[in-house]
Chain A
Amino acid sequence: MVRDKAIPMNLADHVMHEDSLPPAKEITIRSELGDIVAGLGLAGIAAWFMVEAIRLPDYSGTAIGAADFPKGLAFLLLLGALGLVGGAVLRLATGHAGESSTIRRPLHVLIGALLLIAFPLMMSYAGYYIAMGIFLTAFLYLADINRPLLVGGCVAGFLLFTKIIFEMILQTPLP
């Protein structure tokens, strides 16, 4: 990749991206910060599992029951996640921090993620074909395909592919 061409920016910087070739906008996060966020997130998940597991009824008596496996795993994950956080804090404190994690074109990625979330929503309300048509068009533009003919061709082609392969041959009922 062309990281050397890109302009590194700090965390606060997420300015609008101009639709042009590289260099593009980037968010650079110190990897310690990423570790802390991910570690805390995973620790939260582990804690939720732990709480839920404690509330489960136990039919096994003294033996290994339905709740014991998840409890053990959640405890280990909690330790691991906190270890990740601890390591990051240690590196920050001792000044060994160095590496960074880069998200290039963060706005594109964010919109892409939002589109992904919007797709199942659209599909429940508008049915498959409309939802996929809108999704694919938007996604293609997002992915820098801005020749209308190419976008239209891709969308039409894909919907036709769906119709023939999935609906007619594989008999997938598409809402």
Chain B
Amino acid sequence: MLLRFISTAALTVALIANSAAARAEYPERPISYILHVSPGGATDIMARKLATVLEKTLGVPLPVENKAGGRGAAQLADLKKAKPDGYTIGAVTSTHIGAFNQTLKQYDVDSFDWIARLVNEPYLVVVRNDSKLKTMKDLVDAANAKPGSVVMAGFVRGSGGHFAWEIMAKAANLESNKVRWVPFDSVGDAVTSVLGGHAEVAIAYVDLVKNHVAAGNMRVIGVMADERVPQLPDAPTLAEQGYKADTSWQQMRGVIGPKGMPDSVKAKLADAIKQALETPDMKAYINESSLVPAFLGPKEFAEYAKQQDVLTKQWMQSLSLER
């Protein structure tokens, strides 16, 4: 009996010691990676790709869970509930920061831990090839000449693309409401409506339009970045056309976690992500999808998020979208 007690006790001690040792070596069990999008889209594919590469670097599986809905509401509710032990992480995009200031006011940038930024994507102004608008100046002139005559398609009001347009309009000294902003369910839908001639201009991303441009169906009249995009060598930047818009405003994708994760865990994850982004597989994918690698570690990413949040708030106010 006594012997049995001792052996049980010894076993317990060993187990505790073991788990303590394991805790030191995060990660020791699967990490769930929660997305705010449904399966199949660009964000989903990239996350799944990243998860498979991370599985190799971290040595544990990363099951991807899709919690689409409510511009991230479903996903964020799950992240908020999860323990900040590094075993639950989530995808983040600029859309989240917009939502914090609009429909998801119960959260702000401080509600989560910012682990790493992955990539950036510049905003483009595109028209159909037969459009009379050839440059940004044509667009501004047309809007000034007959307010409401230019219809611009994009994602929902208050989205990153919408603010991008506001930033451009401000740089061009144009009252943005002289152009009709039509919100679509996705940026892809907006591009389609320009292709079909229902809207004249769209705010879009490189990956969504590069083939249409190459096939001669569409034209990019402005790129909101410091340099031209390699996939679209003929498309001029806004600065080249004399409009000084803030080019740091770009669509970003990153990884966040519940608030209060230990720094060591965050560092380990960020490190693994950095390595993963450097693998040839990931690099090829990023290049193929016309994304711009833009890794930031936990500290810099958190600062970046705060700064984007401040900008968002300013735009919300000036657009009176705040509620």
Residues of A within 8 A of B (CB): 57, 171, 173
Q: Is the CB of B32 within 8 A of A173?
A: yes
Interface residues of B in 21-71 (CB under 8 A from A): 32, 63, 65
Q: Is the CB of B63 within 8 A of A173?
A: yes
Q: Is the CB of A173 within 8 A of B65?
A: yes
B residues contacting the other copy or chain, number (CB 8 A): 4
Task: Output the nearest chain A residue to B321 by Cβ-Cβ distance.
Answer: A59
Q: Is the CB of B323 within 8 A of A171?
A: no
Nearest Cβ in chain B — how far from A58, in angstroms? 12
A173 CB contacts on chain B under 8 angstroms = 32, 63, 65
Q: Is the CB of B32 within 8 A of A57?
A: no
A57 CB contacts on chain B under 8 angstroms = 323
B323 CB contacts on chain A under 8 angstroms = 57
Bound state CA distance, A173 and B65, in angstroms? 9
5 tightest A-B contacts by CB? Answer: A171-B63, A173-B63, A173-B65, A57-B323, A173-B32
Nearest Cβ in chain A — how far from B48, in angstroms? 12
Nearest Cβ in chain A — how far from B181, in angstroms? 13
Interface residues of B in 130-168 (CB under 8 A from A): none
Bound state CA distance, A173 and B323, in angstroms? 37
Nearest Cβ in chain B — how far from A172, in angstroms? 10
A-contact 0/1 string along B78-95, CB 8 Å cutoff: 000000000000000000
B65 CB contacts on chain A under 8 angstroms = 173
Bound state CA distance, A173 and B32, in angstroms? 10
Q: Would you give 5 A-B contacts (Cβ < 8 Å), ordered by A?
A: A57-B323, A171-B63, A173-B32, A173-B63, A173-B65
A171 CB contacts on chain B under 8 angstroms = 63
B32 CB contacts on chain A under 8 angstroms = 173
B63 CB contacts on chain A under 8 angstroms = 171, 173
Bound state CA distance, A120 and B206, in angstroms? 45
Bound state CA distance, A57 and B32, in angstroms? 38
Nearest Cβ in chain B — how far from A85, in angstroms? 36
Bound state CA distance, A111 and B125, in angstroms? 60
Nearest Cβ in chain A — how far from B29, in angstroms? 13
Bound state CA distance, A156 and B157, in angstroms? 51
Bound state CA distance, A57 and B103, in angstroms? 13
Nearest Cβ in chain B — how far from A61, in angstroms? 12
Task: Output the nearest chain A residue to B323 by Cβ-Cβ distance.
Answer: A57
A-contact 0/1 string along B299-323, CB 8 Å cutoff: 0000000000000000000000001
Nearest Cβ in chain B — how far from A111, in angstroms? 33
Nearest Cβ in chain B — how far from A174, in angstroms? 12
Nearest Cβ in chain B — how far from A63, in angstroms? 12
Task: Output the nearest chain A residue to B30 by Cβ-Cβ distance.
Answer: A173
Task: Output the nearest chain B residue to A57 by Cβ-Cβ distance.
Answer: B323
Task: Output the nearest chain A residue to B64 by Cβ-Cβ distance.
Answer: A171
Bound state CA distance, A57 and B323, in angstroms? 10
Task: Output the nearest chain A residue to B65 by Cβ-Cβ distance.
Answer: A173
Nearest Cβ in chain B — how far from A121, in angstroms? 18
Bound state CA distance, A171 and B32, in angstroms? 12
Bound state CA distance, A57 and B322, in angstroms? 12
Nearest Cβ in chain A — how far from B195, in angstroms? 26
Nearest Cβ in chain A — how far from B88, in angstroms? 11
Nearest Cβ in chain B — how far from A168, in angstroms? 12
Nearest Cβ in chain B — how far from A66, in angstroms? 11
Nearest Cβ in chain A — how far from B54, in angstroms? 16
Nearest Cβ in chain B — how far from A156, in angstroms? 26
Task: Output the nearest chain A residue to B320 by Cβ-Cβ distance.
Answer: A59
Nearest Cβ in chain B — how far from A125, in angstroms? 16
Nearest Cβ in chain A — how far from B115, in angstroms? 21
Bound state CA distance, A31 and B179, in angstroms? 57
Bound state CA distance, A171 and B39, in angstroms? 14
Bound state CA distance, A171 and B65, in angstroms? 10
Bound state CA distance, A173 and B87, in angstroms? 14
Bound state CA distance, A169 and B323, in angstroms? 45
Bound state CA distance, A124 and B323, in angstroms? 34
Bound state CA distance, A8 and B187, in angstroms? 60
Nearest Cβ in chain A — how far from B77, in angstroms? 15
